[in-house]
Amino acid sequence: WRQSASAVYLSVPVRGVRVTPANIFCTERYLKVSSPPFLFEAFLYAAIDDTNSTAKIGNGVIFFTLYKKEEAMWDSLTLQSADKETLQYLRQSAVLKAHEKAKAETEAKKVTKQEQKKYALEATMKLEEAERKRIEDLKEKERQKVTEELELWKKEQKDAEKQNRVQEEGELHKQVEQLKEKKNENNNKTRIPNEGTSKTRLKPTKGHGSYSMFSENFKEEQLPAPRSAATIKVNFTLRVFPTPLRESCIREEEEWLCKQAEARRTVSADMSELEDLKEEEKNPDWLKDKGNKMFATGNYLAAVNAYNLAIRLNNELPLLYLNRAACHLKLRNFHKAIEDSSKALELLTPPVADNENARVKAYVRRGTAFCQLELYTEGLQDYEAALRIDPKNKAIEKDAEKIQHLIQGTMQSS
């Protein structure tokens, strides 16, 4: 070994032994190269900068460059007058410091990784926002284009109507002129000739005191009288199907009529079943209470049947759909739970203070069903809607945070 005021240069021969960086352990006061069956161990004379110090392996030699923490010349490379207990203490301290350093580096890497994840998430959100804005701009441009085309079409239609109106007026004017010319010709034919030009005797017309020439021809040339106004009544056969008849839709019409008949038979059968019920069993509130008791005892199928009958009697009570959604969650019928929760939210309108609790339950149950189906984004939206109604609910807030972490984990893994 050799040294300078700022560094120590040490060569360790390892001929015939394969050494990797994992075989080298170095701290401020301790250096070890472990490559069975050989071991090199040195308790350094003073502290070194183990972070910047280097080790090069090659040609059967490990060449260490150890930078001193304080510039000074060492009397020796290792401690000379230390007993075994001191050396054991230094060895344990070196291992403990190495573990603490490794732990700190792991924590730092973890923090860096979290920051990178956060940055990646923010960048993804920005990209999605930019893409959403681009799509909205494209939609707006398309809408403006369609509006302009519609306005142009309307203008062309107006111009065409105006031109047609002018043509019709010209044709009408032409017809009027033709009628006037024809009438003048008829008047010229009925005019009395001069005495020197004709000796035709005038004959009286029957029923009239005046005379006219060529009376028979004149009658033939007269225009017919306009027709009298009349009202025509047309009766049409009433169609059962609510749309106009098309040959290509005959099969669909027959299928629709069959479904209507089946629905009427089902309704009549349901009414006959309801007639056999007791008076209290025809009360939706009584059936709701019965379903609640069955739900409390864990008999979810029976509770669903009770709620089904209550809904058949009155399908405008949102609590029936809300309670049936809870049963479907227990039975893992998640799609049905989503349908019942959505129906309950439709009936819980307008949103007022009296139905806040019911709306919170509906959003939470629908969000739970979405999460069970791994639709975490939709589930998080429902939980956030419930928090907007009840912002002080810590349980819902905690569940929303868990869903947010799940979404972030899914995005990172993908």
Kindly write down the DSSP assignment for every residue of 196-210, as one continuous string.
TT--PPP-BPTT-SS
Amino acid letter, residue 324: R
Tens-place pLDDT, residues 263-290: 776 655 555 555 556 666 678 888 899 9
Which amino acid does the sequence have at 174?
Answer: K
> How many angstroms separate the CA atoms of 372 and 399, rounded?
13
Residues (pLDDT < 50) of the chain are: 192-219
Q: Is the dihedral of CA 123, 413, 380, 318 positive or negative?
A: positive
pLDDT for residue 379: 92
Q: Is there a contact between 298 and 326 (Cβ–Cβ < 8 Å)?
A: no
Q: Helix, strand or coil for residue 240? A: coil
Gap between the Cα atoms of 269 and 115, Å rounded:
65
| Non-local CB neighbours of 406 within 8 Å, separated by 6+ positions | 371, 376
Residue 108 sits at the vertex; the CA angle it makes with 102 and 111, to the nearest 5 degrees, is: 145
15 and 6 in contact (C-beta within 8 Å)? no
Residue type (1 letter), 44:
L
Give the helix/strand (H/E) hosting 33.
strand 30-35
Residues 292-323, buried b or exposed e (16+ Cβ, 10 A)?
A: eebbeeeebebbbbbbebbbebeeebbbbbbb
Spatial distance between the Cα atoms of 24 and 377, rounded to a whole number of angstroms: 49
Secondary structure letter of residue 75 according to DSSP: S
**Hey, which residues does 2 pair with through a beta bridge?**
9
Residue 329's pLDDT is: 95
First to last CA, the chain: 53
Q: Return the HEC string of 324-341.
A: HHHHHHHCCCHHHHHHHH
Number of H helices, E strands in the chain: 10, 7
* 8 closest CA partner among 61, 45, 41: 45
Nearest to 5, CA basis, from 64, 83, 52, 70: 70
What amino acid is encoded at 232 in this protein?
I
Residue 365 host element (H or E) = helix 356-372
Burial label for 14, CB within 10 Å (0-12, 13-18, 19+), is: middle
Confirm if 322 and 340 have CB atoms less than 8 A apart: yes
At residue 241, the pLDDT reads 64
Please give the pLDDT value at position 299: 93
- How confident is the model at residue 100, as a pLDDT? 83
Contact 362, 348 (CB under 8 A): yes
